[in-house]
Copies of this chain bind each other. A is one copy, B any other.
């Protein structure tokens, strides 16, 4: 995640600086902690031993433990939603623009927690703690690989619930972007008596048919790479080329042409190697994108990518169970969770008598506006969370 978001921010520096970083005087410093569960039974009935997920927190839990906010991360994200690990970090967590002392999700009021999910695909990133196919199976001493059970967004939420229980928290606000929104909706549906409010950015309660198909297409290049070898590659050459192509499709899908116009350059990749003279000669935009993807791919485990895709395809929160008021934030150029789909979802929720509010953020980054331009919704988020 660090790698991925840092490279992203490098590429997008100009935009993001103006879009979502009101200056705050003091850095929030966070620490990665690990939550462990000796056994976890999945929604589908499988048992995973020694489940470990990373988490970070800021603020102070109040006396009656009623001020907790859980931040759930997006597909390529991690629990590093706010703050820095050290003051010298180049960048802060992905929603740092709205989380911290005095910010809309105010760590001087709220105890704000963020956790890594199961099967987080950034399995090799230094600050990520997750459990998935790349994890050593305690029964065999080898990575689970394809023997790891399928998990879903609902499993992510159940493991987070165990973390929340371990802290004695029984009232919770939940917020997240994209896959983080899928988790927020699932939290509200699974634990309607615990969840008080949810903020779901660039998300809906479930994956629709088109998204299920798209997610499958993101995953296919991994399987095409012969180094994937049916998921059995640990200790050998990993299917990096397949990961890169899958990530490239996902990345293009989640951005927008205005992003490409700003982040990349026209013309041939190399002087004297015009793309019109040889099939192998690339355009500059292609090699620049390759470099961007290579940075992200370096920390990705291929099998966890496939499992994460499946978890998202399985997203299907039962909205009839939701009691918590919803703040749904959409962005006009979102190809994954288009605003019209978000509107359809919240209309259904509102039809059940649930209070629904909406907000919009904009920018050149397509779906990613919900991460990079979230500060545009600052006052809506602040007011929504404080509402009684």
Residues of chain A touching chain B, judged by Cβ–Cβ distance below 8 Å, are 43-44, 146, 150, 152, 208-214, 216-217, 220-221, 224-226, 241-242, 245, 248-249, 252, 255-257, 259-261, 264-266, 274-279, 282-283, 285-286, 289, 306-307, 310, 313-314, 335, 338, 341
**Chain B: which residue is nearest A282 at the CB level?**
B216
Copies per assembly? 2
Instruction: With both chains docked as a complex, state the minimum distance between the C-beta of A335 and any C-beta of chain B, in angstroms.
Output: 6
Query: Given A221-B221, A266-B209, A276 and B44 touching (CB < 8 A)?
Result: yes
- The answer on a CB contact under 8 Å between A338 and B257 is yes
Cβ-neighbour of A310 out of B216, B265, B279 (below 8 A): B279
Which residues on the B side are within 8 Å of A220 (C-beta)?
Answer: 221, 245, 248
Measured CA separation A30–B307 after assembly (Å): 50
User: Could you name 24 residue pairs across A and B whose Cβ atoms are closer than 8 Å?
Assistant: A43-B276, A44-B277, A150-B276, A208-B257, A208-B260, A208-B261, A209-B257, A209-B260, A209-B261, A209-B264, A210-B255, A210-B257, A212-B286, A213-B285, A214-B252, A216-B289, A217-B245, A217-B248, A220-B221, A221-B224, A226-B226, A249-B249, A275-B313, A283-B313
A260 to B152, CA, bound (A): 22
Taking A44-B274, A212-B286, A217-B252 as known contacts, 15 extra A-B pairs with beta carbons closer than 8 A to each other, sorted by chain A number, are A150-B276, A208-B260, A209-B257, A209-B266, A212-B283, A213-B264, A216-B286, A217-B248, A220-B245, A221-B221, A221-B224, A221-B245, A275-B314, A279-B306, A279-B307
**Do the beta carbons of B213 and A289 come within 8 Å of each other?**
yes
Q: Which residues of B contact A226 (CB under 8 A)?
A: 226
Given A276-B44, A279-B307, verify A245-B261 contact (CB < 8 Å): no
Residues of the B chain whose Cβ atoms lie less than 8 Å from the Cβ of A313: 275, 283
A265, A286, A306: residue with the most chain B Cβ atoms closer than 10 Å: A286
Complexed CA–CA distance, A276 and B314 (Å): 7
Chain B hits for A221, CB < 8 A: 220-221, 224, 245
User: Which residue of chain B is the closest to A46 with respect to CB atoms?
Assistant: B277
* A224-B224, A252-B213, A261-B209 known; A146 vs B279 contact (CB < 8 Å): yes
Give the top 10 A-B pairs by smallest Cβ distance, nearest first. A210-B260, A210-B257, A224-B224, A209-B260, A220-B245, A209-B285, A216-B286, A44-B276, A226-B226, A217-B248
Query: How far is B278's CA from A277's CA once the two chains are assembled, in angstroms?
Result: 47
List of B residues within 8 angstroms of A278 by Cβ:
150
A307 to B280: give the CA distance in the assembly, Å. 10
How far does the alpha carbon of A382 sit from the alpha carbon of B335 in the complex, in Å? Answer: 34
With the chains together, A32 CA to B285 CA distance in Å?
39
| Interchain CB contact under 8 A, A257 and B310 | no
CB distance from A236 to the nearest CB of B (A): 16
Neighbouring B residues of A310 by C-beta, 8 Å: 275, 279
Considering the chains assembled together, what is the distance between the CA atoms of A217 and B257 in angstroms? Answer: 15
How distant is A285 from chain B, measured CB to nearest CB, in Å? 5
Specify which of A225, A226, A242, A260 lies most central, judged by the most chain B CB atoms within 10 Å of its CB. Answer: A260
Report B-chain residues with C-beta under 8 Å of the C-beta of A282: 216
Determine if B210 and A261 form an interchain contact, defined as CB atoms under 8 angstroms apart. Answer: yes
- A150-B275, A224-B224 known; A212 vs B44 contact (CB < 8 Å): no
Q: Return A99 CB to nearest CB of chain B, in Å.
A: 31
* Residues of chain B within 8 A of A208, CB atoms compared: 257, 260-261
**Shortest CB–CB separation between residue A316 and chain B, in angstroms?**
10
CB nearest neighbor in B for A248: B217
Shortest CB distance A116–B (Å): 20
